[in-house]
């Protein structure tokens, strides 16, 4: 199975989907999975999760490079331990336990986090909270392709450049670890690599478009509202999937 199993129309559709999803993530900081996962799955289920994660990794690298000075490096590294553990748990769960009800559980967890963070002044950036968010993100991301909401909710009150850059650096780590875990359980190989690389032109186009679209979210509380909205939609999608 490879890229040549896609018709020209299917491939163009995939590129269009990745362009829009990448523009969204590069503008807000996350959200690509919410948009692209259900649409790519309709075209070819094999595009999820490995190929999509590989394409999203290329976007995260570009965003990290662009905003490196604004990355909250100290706190991202604190999240890293939880991310590693959560990714391992998620990969093992994919191959060993029934997972049909877990998306619904993740959805309710995110909805609860949205409700709590929407009404409190600021989330405490302590080790316990950061580790827990990283672990939840690792489990969710490996099993569903959605890493962003637990971390994005932490940063919703930060400056837009800091939010985007920090989430991008986090995604570089999360996506790379997720791909390694998927490979370890036999779910990411040459076919998935080929599919993933075929999606990267759309990623590049979306990143270019974001130079204009991000200005919309940088006005007032636009970015924070977008984070809460995308996190809520991600949760509802997971609940529906479950």
pLDDT in tens, 116-140: 777 766 667 888 889 988 998 888 8
pLDDT, one tens digit per residue, over 166-186 is 999 999 988 898 888 789 888
pLDDT at 145 over 70: no
Angle at 1 between CA 183 and CA 36, to 5 degrees: 70
pTM over 0.85: no
pLDDT, one tens digit per residue, over 176-224 is 988 887 898 888 999 899 999 999 999 999 999 999 999 999 988 889 8
Angle at 73 between CA 218 and CA 217, to 5 degrees: 10
Mean pLDDT of 139-149: 76
pLDDT attached to residue 163: 92
Nearest to 54 by CA among 156, 216, 187: 187
pLDDT, one tens digit per residue, over 36-79 is 988 888 888 888 888 999 999 999 999 999 999 999 988 888 89
């Amino acid at each position: 199975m490879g890229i040549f199993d896609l018709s020209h129309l299917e491939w163009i559709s995939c590129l269009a989907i990745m362009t829009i999803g990448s523009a969204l993530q590069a503008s807000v900081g996350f959200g690509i999975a919410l948009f692209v996962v259900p649409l790519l799955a309709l075209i070819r289920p094999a595009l999820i999760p490995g190929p999509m994660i590989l394409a999203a990794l290329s976007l995260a690298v570009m965003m990290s490079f662009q905003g490196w000075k604004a990355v909250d490096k100290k706190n991202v590294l604190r999240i890293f331990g939880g991310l590693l553990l959560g990714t391992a748990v998620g990969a093992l769960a994919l191959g060993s336990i029934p997972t049909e009800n877990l998306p619904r559980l993740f959805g309710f967890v995110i909805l609860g986090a949205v409700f709590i963070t929407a009404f409190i002044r600021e989330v405490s950036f302590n080790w316990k909270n950061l580790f827990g968010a990283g672990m939840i993100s690792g489990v969710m991301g490996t099993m569903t392709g959605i890493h962003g909401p637990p971390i994005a909710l932490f940063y919703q009150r930060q400056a837009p450049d800091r939010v985007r850059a920090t989430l991008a650096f986090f995604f570089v780590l999360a996506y790379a670890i997720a791909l390694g875990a998927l490979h370890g359980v036999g779910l990411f190989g040459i076919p998935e690599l080929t599919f993933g690389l075929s999606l990267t032109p759309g990623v590049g186009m979306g990143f270019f478009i974001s130079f204009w679209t991000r200005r919309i979210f940088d006005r007032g509380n636009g970015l924070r509202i977008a984070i809460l909205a995308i996190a809520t939609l991600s949760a509802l999608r997971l609940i529906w999937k479950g």
